[in-house]
Chain A
């Protein structure tokens, strides 16, 4: 009954490969996010979708392509992986109540590019 789940938890792959990370939320939220946490532990937003529509797209290489098949899922596909893509990727979903937003995060996907 995990609220926000991500698969896989760990991903080790070679440079140049293409990989996908999946995220699912069972909270009924309309908005989902992808964040990246680098080796220095800074968390940065990458993308946000609301009801399957892209609404935040930070300066991220176009090798990263999010896809939201429905509002409960937000997947992240990465083409031509590079060493610098190694990081922890967190998915989140959020609800807004009286213009106050609370975000709920998944457990993270630890990506290591060799």
Chain B
């Protein structure tokens, strides 16, 4: 799976958009970009994923550049509860009946400030 690079930490004001970047310059054509987060003392939580199109769900938006070498996770209106470590993970598609380990890097510590 392709390696990812994220800034170690970011701050964001409450109510503002949080934009978390991720570089994955060695991504291959059949690899997806996944985002998970881990709020302190909790298990990791799935946020969103995409292949090449931008994606949006109730939690966040994912913007993937046209060359797919980087992406940005957007939390449109950050709240204090969004303070967490955010992990960008690149993973190849899998077939049902198999498993893939999530390779967690060090992620970005997002701190939402009041």
If over half of A's interface residues share one DSSP class (helix, strand or loop), that class is named, otherwise mixed; here it is: strand
CB-CB under 8 A from B85, the residues of chain A are 41
Q: Are B100 and A101 in contact (CB under 8 A)?
A: yes
Instruction: Name the residue of chain B whose CB is nearest to the CB of A94.
Output: B99
Encode A64-95 as 1/0 by CB contact (under 8 A) with B: 00000000000000000000000000101010
Inter-chain residue pair count (beta carbon < 8 A): 67
Q: Mark B78-114, 1 if CB is under 8 A from A, else 0.
A: 0000000100000101111111111110100000000
Q: For the complex, count residues of A whose C-beta is within 8 A of B.
A: 30
Write the chain B residue with the least CB distance to A96: B96
Contacts of A100 in B (CB 8 A): 32, 49, 93
In the assembled complex, A50 has its CB within 8 A of some CB on chain B: yes
Total interface residues on B, CB under 8 Å, equals 25
Given the interface pairs A90-B44, A103-B46, A105-B44, the reply to whether A58 lies near B101 with Cβ below 8 Å is yes
The smallest C-beta distance from B31 to any residue of chain A, in angstroms, reads: 11
Q: Is the CB of B43 within 8 A of A107?
A: yes
Complex CA–CA separation, A90 to B42 (angstroms): 9
Decide if B45 is an interface residue (CB 8 Å cutoff): yes
Cross-chain contact A103 with B102 (CB below 8 angstroms): yes
**One of B41, B91, B104 near A101 (C-beta < 8 A):** B91
Give bound CA distance, A92 to B36, whole Å.
13
On whether the beta carbons of B46 and A43 are closer than 8 Å, the reply is: no
Q: Could you list 8 A-B pairs, sorted by A, with CB under 8 Å?
A: A43-B38, A43-B44, A45-B103, A50-B97, A55-B98, A90-B44, A96-B94, A101-B91
Interface on A for B, CB 8 Å cutoff? 4, 30-31, 33, 35, 41-45, 48, 50-51, 55-56, 58, 90, 92, 94, 96, 99-108
